[in-house]
Amino acid sequence: MRRVPLVASLVFGLVACAVSAADLPWTQLGPFDSLTGTPILVGSLVVVPGTATLYASGAAGAGVFRSDDGGGQWVDLGRPGGQDVLRLYLDPSTSGAVYAATYWGLYRTRDRGATWTPSGLQDQVVNALAVDPQSPNTVYAGTVPQHFADYGYIFKSLDAGASWSQVDALLYDWVISLAVDPLDPSTIFAGSSEGGTVFRSTDGGGNWTAVDQPLGYVHEVAVDPRRPGVAYFSWHTHFVFEGSVLGGTLRRTTDGGATWSDVAGLPKLRAGDFLIDPRDPSLFYFESSGSLFRSIDGGQTWGAIGPAMGIAACDSRYLYAISNGVLRYDLSLLPPTCEASSTTLCLQYGRFSARVDWQQSPLGPSFQAQAVPLTTDSGYFWFFGPDNVELVVKVLDGTGINGDFWVFYGALSDVAYRLTVTDSLTGATREYVNPQGTLASVADTHAFPGAVSAAPAVAHRPSTALVVASPEVVCIPDPAALCLEEGRFQVRVDWRLSPEGPSFIAPASPLTGDTGYFWFFNEANVELVVKVLDGTAINGHYWVFYGALSDVQYTITVTDTQTGATQTYENARGTLASVADTKAF
């Protein structure tokens, strides 16, 4: 067991409130229903790079539409073969050529949608397609069983779909996504659903090997067109808890698929779409945990630029999303925002930056605290080591309540530090100084005026891993439990809005081996932080600390899985609590 550091540590609580996120100004483009004038529900979108031509497929039998003026006017191209379209794909070899993957095979147009020709696989539900960019007549198709009781397969065509052969060597799974390496077209990646596996072929589909298994739904596979051996896939778990998918993120390989790791600086809760800009491959977009993230340096650093919208395409200047119609955002309208770094938190979609300088003694040297993002409005800093959370910071948009942005922070350490928060839109700065020996929790509800509307962003949650319990303990992590101190202690939280109201189970998110947090209303809003420390070397006990980011009624239950002993901590409604129990177990 790790021992508690000499500097006293404590978790603190902050008041939570319901706030609205900064929305990007999306423009509704259509297509529209000819009878009602309302936007048609769109299931797929492709944009021809360097042009104003867009193709959209409508859901529920609406067919395919084309716009030649960036979405101003749309032409109804009908339903290819009378089938519902699952997804559209561009054929890079021929201008005006598009593939339509349907429930009954693949269709292709060479005349911009005027006519559609069957392209084989008419007895298959085609769910994924990849075209060899160096040899566009070579096409790979992934299928899903029509009756959802069989297996999906991978097929290969050498004549642009005129004929096909099965090449997957019986992967026994549903094929959800495919990607060909543009720098080495003999390498193909396939993502599956039910088995949650990524497969790789290095001989043009002749042989396949499972290279990673995140145990969830592989949502999207993509290959970096500029850097050899670099590929990505997004995934999420099947397990749903109170309406939210609880696992998943973006994973990356830098050695052609031999090894994979989570991309740093992104959340690990609910992964969605992932895009690489075809005209500027340094621009990446990724949706997760209800937020939209962008990287402008090829995936090295990321920033949240707004709420998730269901992104579908991009072309350097514009970002497109699909839902009820096609939505477009002009990326040139993004104002300058905070730049995240190892010592800078970017909060409230990048409008605010937070930095911390700390000292062990008033006359000692000053050090920069290391920053770890949690959500778009909160994060923490560590001083002595990455396993010890020292200072939690949150910026909330309170403009709907009192016209201001609010700054909250709470110390997990009593050393001297200076917290500096800057509004990147106005240049205004607030400094909060903590003297040595002071354990502070501060709520500044008039920190920054909100006259200037909030902007899009830069930052998010760390790559954290669940603690794996050692063989002698029985704490098993689940979506509603934290396992702390090498898995010995289990923590659960129940909360309610009123004393007479129903009780809810709070979802849990681990941070370090001894610290984690719970959220109540929304996964992006940290509500309660809990820490268990081994203080046996000091007073013979394990210590429990917690701090509330909400003043609702809740009950914390901490269980020692080795002895069965339990401690419960009750918080009354309207109470903002910070508790240090140094004789808990």
Give residue 467's pLDDT: 28
Kindly state the tokens that stand for 61. Answer: 């039998």
DSSP conformational letter for 539: H
Give CA–CA dist 377/393, Å, rounded.
Answer: 8
What is the β-pairing status of strands 352-359 and 416-423?
Answer: antiparallel
pLDDT digits (tens, 9 = 90+) for 524-579: 678 888 888 888 888 888 888 887 777 789 999 998 888 888 898 988 888 777 77
**Cα dihedral 69, 74, 78, 84 sign:** positive
The two tokens of residue 250 are 């973006």
Query: What is the separation, in whole angstroms, between the first and last Cα of the chain?
Result: 14
Written as six digits, the tokens of 212 are 């990673």
**Residues sharing a CB contact under 8 Å with residue 177, sequence separation 6 or more, in sequence order:** 128, 142, 190, 191, 218, 219, 220, 221, 233
Q: Which amino acid type is present at position 366?
A: S
pLDDT, mean of each 10-residue run, the chain (585 residues): 30 30 70 86 89 87 89 92 89 83 89 90 87 91 71 87 81 81 94 81 92 82 91 75 58 93 79 85 84 83 80 87 89 73 84 90 87 83 87 84 86 85 84 85 83 35 28 65 87 86 85 84 78 85 81 88 87 79 86
Cis status of the peptide bond prior to 31, with omega within 30 of 0: yes
CA angle 131, 110, 68 (to 5 degrees): 100
Comparing CA positions, the residue from 276, 531, 277 lying closest to residue 388 is 531
How high is the pLDDT of residue 336?
Answer: 62
φ/ψ of residue 157, rounded to 5: -125, 140
**The pTM is what?**
0.61
Task: Return the number of other C-beta atoms located less than 10 Å from residue 106's C-beta.
Answer: 28
CB-side exposure of 511: number of CA atoms within 13 Å?
A: 28
- For residue 119, the model assigns a pLDDT of 86
Residue type, 128: A
